[in-house]
Structure 1
């Protein structure tokens, strides 16, 4: 397999880059969507059971079924892949964001308001920084999950390492079938580990020492 990887290293690197780009972009979109929804949910407590139920049910939807629903609307290509990966990426971040925002000490919020902070300023300077470690944990889970989901993107001609996995499956019994599938799978695992380490570093840089302690 080593010779196979060396001979196709350029294409492998391109596929790995596209795979990572798709996942990072989807997780970024998902983070914004999840945090906005979490803010709404924490301001409207009656909506929380619905949000939790939807996030739990969403994870049970098979990725192929979701792609089948999206195809008539978004067609083949990158858009369908991005929407599908973003959909799944939102769910774990949303649940953690709700928990994180609800875990902020009410006394701190009241103190901030007593100092004259507006609601948006309290959210940006008090609630989100304190909830950030919990939100980041959800982002890490989301990223790991999205790495696998992004492989399905090849089914709709999306970017990434999934193309080699599908190529290997369609050539079962062929000379390089196992090499295609195995090298892509190992590539996805390595990307997941690298990006998780990157998120750990981001967490160290973006979390105040007082919150870490």
Structure 2
């Protein structure tokens, strides 16, 4: 325990820097995953055959081993943060895409018919009825993807992207256990905090909570 505390006292600044770097890579990857997967997931509800094809492609990409995907990105983007962000972006897609599709497709048809009866256009029905009703399911996919991406970002160290993976792998290579612990512990804490915050956001954006606030 003393070694752990001593390492923290001596290298606290570096741990914080690596944690912020880790969070930056994860956030950028997740952001692009959201802005790409949510619109595609919504669009796929218009065509079931297209949905099957796109979901199959996303599932296949998800099964590619992390190290293999990172290695494939190096000839295209070199080393550093760019190949890591592209790889993590690809991994973030499936949970968001699947949940967006299922959330929008699962909205009760009677609500859609009621919206049409009120004179709403297709765009208005989507924005005012379908997306709000599907939001808990969509947020569930984003929440899951966020935790996955935070964990997978540790592997980004292999392509020189930095982050807490640097501490983990350097610690394992040099048999410095305090370095491994202080690389692993912040990842776990970040994942718990992010999951908790997205859980609150998911709860706030649920239709029942939204209605309570408006009333």
Say whether the fold is shared (TM-score over 0.5): yes
Higher mean C-alpha displacement, 188-197 vs 108-117: 108-117
- Unaligned segments of structure 2, at least 5 residues: none
State the partner residue of 1:19.
Answer: 22
Of 54, 70, 76, the match for 1:51: 54
Tell me, in whole angstroms, the C-alpha distance in 1 between the residues paired with 2:141 and 2:105: 15
Q: Which runs of 4+ in 1 moved over 6 A?
A: none
Of 8, 12, 19, the match for 2:11: 8
State the partner residue of 2:185.
Answer: 186
- Unaligned segments of structure 1, at least 5 residues: none
Higher mean C-alpha displacement, 136-145 vs 51-60: 51-60
State the partner residue of 2:137.
Answer: 134
CA RMSD in angstroms, aligned pairs only: 1.8
Structure-1-length-normalised TM-score: 0.91
Q: How many residues align?
A: 209
Of 39, 42, 58, the match for 2:42: 39
The answer (yes or no) to whether the contact 2:204–2:210 under 8 Å persists in 1 is: no
Structure-2-length-normalised TM-score: 0.90
> 1:116-166 CA deviation, whole Å, 9 max, x = no partner?
222222211111111110111111111111112111111111131011112
State the SS of the aligned residue for 1:117: coil
State the partner residue of 2:168.
Answer: 165
The answer (yes or no) to whether the contact 1:55–1:95 under 8 Å persists in 2 is: no
Tell me, in whole angstroms, the C-alpha distance in 2 between the residues paired with 1:46 and 1:212: 35
Aligned pair 1:151/2:150, yes or no?
no
State the SS of the aligned residue for 2:63: coil
State the SS of the aligned residue for 1:8: helix
State the SS of the aligned residue for 1:79: helix
